[in-house]
Amino acid sequence: MPPGKYLSGPSQADERVAALDGEAPGETFHAVEPLITSITVWRAAVETLSNTHMKLWITEVDSIGKPLTDHIVLGGPAILVPFGDGVHPIKIQYTFDPPVELPSRGQFFFAIQELCYGYFDLLATEDAYPSGGAWRTGRSFLNGCHLRPYPDRVSTSCSRSNSVGMT
């Protein structure tokens, strides 16, 4: 996988990847185990006040690792994390009890969708990520605010949020 942007944690982040009008930045990942108990991403500290709901998606990928946004494993939840302190990155955590069970081990895609009425930035880095890559779906605000097909690779002008955590 060529180097590019990846979603990142606060300590590794040096850039941001934006989402607006129904876009959904995310990344592919390799699931060693089929159970996921949480997914964490980080919003930029400057976005202290936010009324934007952020919907989580998990989908399958094709044989070359491209997200298949019409092969949905999980659609939701959408959460609202409205406040930060303006100094520290804002933790966005999706916790599952019981855990989400993926259909198998292997490659999948997760994305965080802006639900068509706001904007957010996720922290990102340009560090290489050997088993995944950053992608972003297109805008869907004029089309019913769904997860759009045919996502694009996030280039070095965008970012992956290295503040991503999965357990």
pLDDT at 6 over 70: no
Of 9-18, 29-38, 142-151, 156-165, least confident by mean pLDDT is: 156-165
> What is the CA 6 to chain-centroid distance, rounded?
9
Query: How many Å separate Cα 63 from the centre of its chain?
Result: 20
SS3 label, residue 71: strand
With contact defined as beta carbons under 8 Å apart, do 80 and 130 qualify? no
Neighbouring C-beta atoms of residue 70, cutoff 10 Å? 12
Give the Cα-Cα-Cα angle 18, 54, 88 (nearest 5 degrees): 65
Q: What mean pLDDT value characterizes the chain?
A: 78
pLDDT in tens, 43-90: 888 887 777 889 999 999 999 889 999 999 999 899 988 788 888 888
7 is written with which tokens? Answer: 């979603």
Question: What is the predicted pLDDT for the residue at 167?
Answer: 53
The CATH class given to the 6-166 domain equals mainly beta
Q: What is the pLDDT of residue 4?
A: 42
Of 143 and 165, the structure prediction assigns the larger pLDDT to: 143
Poorest-pLDDT segment among 94-98, 107-111, 125-129, 154-158? 154-158
pLDDT for 154 beyond 60? yes
Region 115-129 average pLDDT:
74
List residues bridging with 31 in a β-sheet.
106
Query: Which of 25-29, 113-117, 142-146 shows the lowest per-residue confidence on average (mean pLDDT)?
Result: 142-146
**Distance (Å, whole) CA 114 – CA 139:** 9
List Cβ neighbours of 47 (8 Å cut-off, separation of 6 or more). 84, 90, 120, 121
Instruction: Identify the burial level of 98 via C-beta atoms within 10 angstroms of its C-beta, where 0-12 means exposed, 13-18 middle and 19 or more buried.
Output: exposed
Q: Containing H/E element for 16?
A: strand 15-20
- Count of all residues that appear for the chain in the document: 167
Domain spans in the chain, listed from the N-terminal domain onward: 6-166
- What distance in Å separates the CA atoms of residue 18 and residue 5, rounded to the nearest whole number? 12
101 contacts 30 by C-beta, under 8 angstroms? no
